[in-house]
Amino acid sequence: MLFSQEDLQYTQDFLLRLLNIPSPTGMTKTAIDFVEAEAKKLGIQSTRTHKGALCFTIQGKQSESSRLLTAHVDTLGGMIKEILPSGQMRIQKIGGYAWSTIEGETCRIFSEKKTFTGTVLLENTSIHVNSKVNETERTADNMVIVLDEVVHSAEDVKKLGISVGDFIAWDPRAVLTESGYIKSRHLDDKASVAILFGVVHALQRNNRELAVDCTFLISNNEEIGYGGNSNIPQQTVEYVAVDMGAIGKGQTTDEHCVSICAMDGSGPYHFGLRQHLVHIAQQHQLHYAVDIYPHYSSDASAAVRSGADIKHGLVGPGVANSHTYERLHSDALIHTSELLIHYLQSPLCEV
């Protein structure tokens, strides 16, 4: 394999650092600053888009037609929607997730001048007081943030400088276990951002040249649907989103493999490109799975929806418990990286 233990260590270290940078959609500058600095360390000059995403291009053997790989640094999160008379606060979700997945989660609230901490709870959450806790549906109307500050009223909260519209980030609780599992919120899609940088690291270390030019787009609005639908170079023929492979009932993807998506909620991905990716995985004996994600879309599908004339594909590491406290194994980082390394050295798909 071209992706070595050294490359894996680099990818894991990069991922753990990135996971600990809060970046809910709309508040991604610090995370983009981080990946920009990392690109510079690799000797890569990058540019910012007006939307705040990061782009850089690695030249290949020819430039007439090119590829684009994208992964997104933005994550699920929230905003303060309402400050209640009790001093507790209602939440407006950023991105798609169930209220139950953040119950009991610790978080950070970013006011203009200071960062505060808190916990997301169901109102009247004690089962010793509320006998209906178990049967209560968690909704926007009964989930609140309880601040780690002495507050007894809305006025107390406002005096701290907290206001409606302040961003909320869920604490990632990132852990790398001795057995190789990585557990954290926001592996979707920071694992894939780390993979792209690990791929560049491996290509440089092996002194490998790409078949064609490839643009790398680190997008920052994917969780709300339009992260990678612009800044696509005109000569781009193939566009591959690198995003999580969701695991669940009826799926073949697992936490150790690279997932190749055949179709999601936007429709089928380009069949010829999908076949090309599968053939590469088979040729190099990678652990892969082909799956359909009916409740999913990607930056690649957003690009097609916006009118981009491209062959689009979607691959990514298998991630369990998507949009909750997620988990993958480092094997998935290896197999996804290895697939992309060989893909970037292969000819363009002819079908």
Which domains are delineated in the chain? 5-75+186-344 (3.40.630.10), 77-170 (2.40.30.40)
pLDDT digits over 149-159, tens only?
Answer: 999 999 999 99
- Pick the catalytic residue from 105, 222, 326, 338: 222
Owner of token pair 């001048």 = 113
Helices (H), the chain: 5-19, 29-41, 154-159, 187-205, 271-283, 299-305, 330-344
Instruction: Give me the amino acid identity at 219.
Output: S
Measured between alpha carbons, how far is residue 297 from residues 230, 313, 337 in Å? 16, 11, 21
Closest to 337 (Cα-Cα) out of 190, 181, 175, 201: 201
Confidence tier at 75 by pLDDT (50, 70, 90): very high
Q: How far apart are CA 147 and CA 143, in angstroms?
A: 13
Please give the sequence-ordered ranges of beta strands (E in DSSP) within 243-332, or none if there are none.
Answer: 245-246, 258-264, 267-268, 288-293, 311-319, 326-329
Q: Distance between CA atoms of 41 and 234, rounded to whole angstroms? A: 28
Tell me what pLDDT residue 351 has: 81
Q: Strand pairing of 106-110 and 115-122?
A: antiparallel
Is 7 marked within a binding site?
no
pTM passes above 0.85:
yes
| Side chain identity, residue 287 | H
Residue 193 Rama label (left phi>0; alpha psi -120 to 50; beta): alpha
Quick one: average pLDDT of 310-314?
A: 98
Whether the Cβ atoms of residue 256 and residue 227 lie closer than 8 Å to each other: no
Residue 43: what residue type?
Answer: G
- Answer yes or no: is 323 a known binding residue: yes
Annotated binding residue 291: no
Q: Do 339 and 313 touch, CB atoms closer than 8 A?
A: no
Q: Is the pLDDT of residue 286 over 90?
A: yes
Half-sphere exposure in the Cβ direction for 207 (13 Å, CA):
0
Cα 254 from Cα 231, distance rounded (Å): 33
Q: Check the annotation: does 223 bind a ligand.
A: yes
- Residue 255: active-site member: no
Q: Quick: pLDDT tens for 207-262.
A: 999 999 999 999 999 999 988 999 999 999 999 999 999 999 999 999 999 999 99
